[in-house]
Amino acid sequence: MTQNASSKSLAGRTALVTGSTSGIGLGIAMALAEAGANLVLNGFGEVDGAVSQVLATGAEVAHHNADMTKPEEIEAMIRFAKERFGALDVLVNNAGVQHVAAIDEFPTDRWNAIIAINLSSAFHTMRAALPGMRERGWGRVINIASVHGLVGSVGKSAYVAAKHGVLGLTKVAALEYARTGVTVNAICPGFVYTPLVQKQIDAIAERDSISVEAARAKLLAEKQPSAEFVTTRQIGAATVFLCSDAASEMRGAELKIDGAWTAQ
Ligand code: NAD
């Protein structure tokens, strides 16, 4: 069923999704666009493909190339969103990278990059975006954390530290804006099938000399009781829900979508 513009829940709103040229970020951008929002995409790689996919929903779309390791580029991106669409209403901090190695073998440059992209970038975007949301009396910030914000896994020190940090940052921002129309929440996905996870599947296949299919099943069997991947569209739908009036008193929440990973 097609909806007309006025019946779409986010018609007239502008959303920015960091790291939205791929995977979960693109799934979220699609869901927000289908709900009527104008979209600012960000990220590297398949930029044209991502822009065309989101444009096909009928949304207005722009892309900004800010590198999430660079605070001045992040600030320029938030200014760009406001100038291009008049305001920034929905901010999704999603950009993230992974590196798997034991602490005593973990390269320092990978540690620094993961903390910068997966954690500090969310501070820089919020710092620049939250005051405008408060002034206009409405805003939504959704931080894409992870089950690794709640529990650890061997080999993922930087990622787990960054994601625990994202949940702490989410709580503080939710408290600081608790008396406003601006909510700040986190989503904690389990394994979602994306290029980030494909790299881990390929590494298991190589390490254990097994097929990619067997490595996929092994990865899920180790952690995710449902033995199914979460989908990027499910994360997108949860993001749209967090933007709804029904979610206006969800503040500082950690929404787990993890196939029962953290129920164990
Ligand atoms: P992905 O590799 O498919 O996409 C990552 C996106 O981030 C891409 O658009 C990439 O261009 C962008 N990016 C990377 N470095 C950047 C930088 N320096 N500046 C700007 N953009 C940059 O990854 P994904 O699996 O879709 O992960 C997205 C988010 O979801 C991450 O924060 C990740 O930690 C989180 N997450 C993923 C899973 C999973 O199973 N895939 C589970 C839990 C949480």
Rounded Cα distance between 93 and 89, Å, is 13
**Rounded Cα–Cα distance for residues 254 and 146 (Å):** 9
Ligand 1 centre from 21 Cα, in Å? Answer: 9
Judge contact between 235 and 171, C-beta under 8 A.
no
Q: Write out the two tokens for 38.
A: 């104008």
Decide: 87 and 14 in contact? Cβ < 8 Å: yes
Indicate if ligand 1 lies below 6 Å from the C-beta of 68. Answer: yes
Let me know if 193 is a catalytic residue. Answer: no
Given 85, 111, 159, 177, the catalytic residue: 159
DSSP state of 209: T
- Listed by start position, the domains of the chain span 8-192+231-257, 193-229
Q: What percent of the chain has pLDDT over 90?
A: 97
Give the confidence band of 148 by pLDDT, cuts at 50, 70, 90: very high
Contact present, 20 and 41 (Cβ < 8 Å) = yes
As a whole number of angstroms, the distance between CA 115 and CA 156 comes to 12
Per-residue model confidence (pLDDT) at position 114: 98
Q: How confident is the model at residue 233 (pLDDT cuts 50, 70, 90)?
A: very high
Residue 121 burial (CB count, 10 A): 28
For the segment 138-144, the average pLDDT, to the nearest whole number, is 99
Q: How many helices (H) and strands (E) does the chain have?
A: 9, 7
**Atom number, ligand 1, closest to the C-alpha of residue 147:** 43
- The verdict on domain 8-192+231-257 having CATH code 3.40.50.720 is yes
State the pLDDT at residue 6.
59
143 lines ligand 1 (CB under 6 A): no
Question: Is the alpha carbon torsion for 87, 5, 246, 38 positive or negative?
Answer: negative
pLDDT in tens, 119-130: 999 999 999 999
74 residue type, one letter: I
120 vs 165: CA distance, rounded Å = 9
- The predicted-structure confidence for 152-198, as pLDDT tens digits, reads as follows 999 999 999 999 999 999 999 999 999 999 999 999 999 999 998 99
Whether the pLDDT of residue 240 is over 60: the answer is yes
Q: What is the pLDDT of residues 18-62, one digit of tens each?
A: 999 999 999 999 999 999 999 999 999 999 999 999 999 999 999
Q: Is 92 in the pocket of ligand 1 (CB under 6 A)?
A: no
To 5 degrees, how large is the angle CA 144–CA 4–CA 26? 25
Q: pTM for the whole thing? A: 0.97
**Over the range 201-225, which residues count as b (16 or more CB within 10 Å of their CB) and which as e?**
beebbeeeeeeeeebbeebbeebbe
CB-ligand 1 contact for 235 (6 Å cutoff): no
Select from 70, 97, 163, 202 the residue to mutate for testing ligand 1; criterion: most ligand atoms less than 8 Å from CB.
Answer: 97
Ligand 1 in reach of 14 Cβ (< 6 A)? no
Give, in order, the Cα–Cα distances in Å from 154 to each of 30, 158, 200, 258.
33, 11, 13, 18
Do 94 and 42 touch, CB atoms closer than 8 A? Answer: no
